[in-house]
Amino acid sequence: MFITEHEFELPKGYVDPSGTLHRKGVMRLATAADELLPLKDPRVRDFSPYLIVLLLSRVVMRLGTLSEVHPGVIEGLFTEDLAYLQHTYNRINGMAADEDTQCPQCGHHFHPVHAPGGFAATP
């Protein structure tokens, strides 16, 4: 069976305005639209690191008892939790390489550096 949704538990958790802590959630696999549409957003054009906020707000389907996971929720995460979600995104979407990769052209071995939604650097 093909799994499209993955459960997670944040290391620290999101604290909503009423003080409730939310740690358990569900992230779905990303689609091409999830990675492409945020690139049109003026917040991303003005500040490219904001891409991960929009991307995660599209693929995190549930977080605790929140009725919606919107960019403001992602902005309110502790940095450890944001990093955890980035890693989870890369892992479930097949982008997390735990070992060195070899360049098919020159044969050089390197460890890929990942950015939200893909690779940030090549050798």
- The arithmetic mean of pLDDT across residues 1-6, rounded, is 92
Residue with tokens 């690779």: 119
Q: How confident is the model at residue 114 (pLDDT cuts 50, 70, 90)?
A: very low
Domain boundaries, the chain: 5-121
Q: How far apart are CA 122 and CA 97, in angstroms?
A: 13
Listed range (23-27, 66-70, 115-119) with the worst mean pLDDT: 115-119
Find the helix or strand (DSSP H, E) in which 11 lies. Answer: strand 5-15
Cα–Cα distance for residue pair 66/70, rounded to 1 Å: 10
Region 31-53 average pLDDT = 95
- Which amino acid, residue 41? D
Mean pLDDT in the chain?
86
- Taking the C-alpha atoms of residue 103 and residue 109, their distance in angstroms, rounded to an integer, is 6
